[in-house]
Amino acid sequence: QVRLVESGGGVVQPGRSLRLSCAASGFTFSSYAMHWVRQAPGKGLEWVAVIWYDGSKKYYADSVKGRFTISRDNSKNTLYLQMNSLRAEDTAVYYCARQNHDYGNAFDIWGQGTMVTVSS
């Protein structure tokens, strides 16, 4: 069964750090680009970051550039998002998603999401 499971969310103070993980199973993780997408409470979806299948390229939304780092460990089938200098506006549910070139590069598989709350 193809699956993505996020973990690592929680409540953190402004300025602190948090690392999210996304464990993949049921497919060849190393063959796919992976994304992080977030959704603030009551708001729409916001794309956050992408990493190429081999980790060779990474791109970020302007809102997180310089503070967040996306990475992956293909030997562990795991995607990461290191979040530093967190702000209140980073409060959101964070989803990892698989980009599938066989589906027009759509995000065809999503995790259940992990909640990050930035508050003092």
Partner 1 sequence: QSVLTQSPSVSGAPGQRVTISCTGSSSNIGAGYDVNWYQQVPGTAPKVLIYGNNNRPSGVPDRLSGSKSGTSASLAITGLQAEDEADYYCQSYDSSLSLWVFGGGTKLTVL
Residues that bind partner 1 (CB under 8 A): 35, 37, 44-47, 50, 59-61, 95, 97, 103-108, 110-113
Query: At closest approach, how far in Å is the CB of 57 from partner 1?
Result: 11
**Nearer CB in complex with partner 1: 17/35:** 35
Dist. CA 26–CA 28, nearest whole Å: 7
**Nearer CB in complex with partner 1: 37/81:** 37
Query: At closest approach, how far in Å is the CB of 110 from partner 1?
Result: 4
Query: At closest approach, how far in Å is the CB of 1 from partner 1?
Result: 15
**Nearer CB in complex with partner 1: 75/98:** 98
